Amino acid sequence: MVNPEESNTETTMRHVSYDRFGERDVLQVKTSDIPQPGPGQVLVRVHGAGLNPIDWKTRKGLGFAARQIENSLPWTPGYDVAGEVVEVAEDVTTLAPGDRVMGMIGFPEGGGGYASYAVAGADEFAIVPEELDLLAAGALPLAALTAWQALFEVAKLDSGQKILIHAGAGGVGHFAVQFALERGAHVVATASAANRDFLAELGVHEVIDYRTTDVAEECYGL
């Protein structure tokens, strides 16, 4: 269903595509019809799309995702997206046109984030807080989800526990330290001296400079 006030009058969109694996010169900008959401799906006008290591590795034909798409090229890459919902399928009740959303979509065969519009399952999106810019939100889903899964689904981190987070100022790391602190854990993070102040501002309890300190010795007995 479409909200008349948010009705999309465009019929075509631009998107990035490649029909073979290789270096960046295999990327092409194409024009295609805007996709329509199927059952359980929503159509999103993309404001920001994230670039992660898996994107360039897949483009080069490396890794798990490349094996899933190698027989279905050409393909539009991009798993991380943020934008505005413009249309939802009739059976979707959790989102509505106008909602600001972000998500990691269509992994591993689907993708499609490097486009003006993207279609994905409604359950692949989360609402973006008003204070968060949609362009910036496009860089959040994969890294944040990786941190969340590692901390709470695998490590089962709980309040009062201590945790060592390597590369605490990195893409996944800076989400991990914030999630762990929010959960009430005592957070120790490794980082270079240049990132010490950044981690201190986030509230990290202890920062270990891995370039000058033996991390194993420093953490022994913590």
Residue-wise pLDDT for 139-193, tens only, equals 999 999 999 999 999 999 999 999 999 999 999 999 999 999 999 999 999 999 9
Greater pLDDT, 220 or 29: 29
3-state helix, strand, coil in the chain (%, to 5): 30, 25, 40
pTM: 0.85
Q: Which fold has domain 141-219?
A: Rossmann fold (3.40.50)
Question: How close are the terminal C-alpha atoms of the chain, in Å?
Answer: 56
**Eight-state DSSP code of residue 29:** E
Q: Could you tell me which of 37, 84, 77 has the C-alpha nearest to residue 54?
A: 77
CATH 3.40.50.720 region(s) of the chain? 141-219
CATH 3.90.180.10 region(s) of the chain? 4-137
pLDDT of residue 220: 79
- Beta bridge partner(s), residue 120: 42
CA angle 3, 79, 110 (to 5 degrees): 80
CATH architecture observed for domain 4-137: Alpha-Beta Complex (3.90)
Q: How far apart are CA 170 and CA 138, in angstroms?
A: 17
Q: How far apart are CA 126 and CA 138, in angstroms?
A: 12
Handedness of CA 176, 181, 187, 193 (dihedral sign): positive
pLDDT of residue 222: 66
- HSE on the CB side for 208, CA within 13 Å? 19
pLDDT of residue 207: 96
Percent residues over pLDDT 70 in the chain: 95
Helix residue spans in 82-207 (DSSP H) = 134-137, 141-148, 171-183, 196-202
Question: How do strand 41-49 and strand 162-165 relate by DSSP bridges?
Answer: unpaired
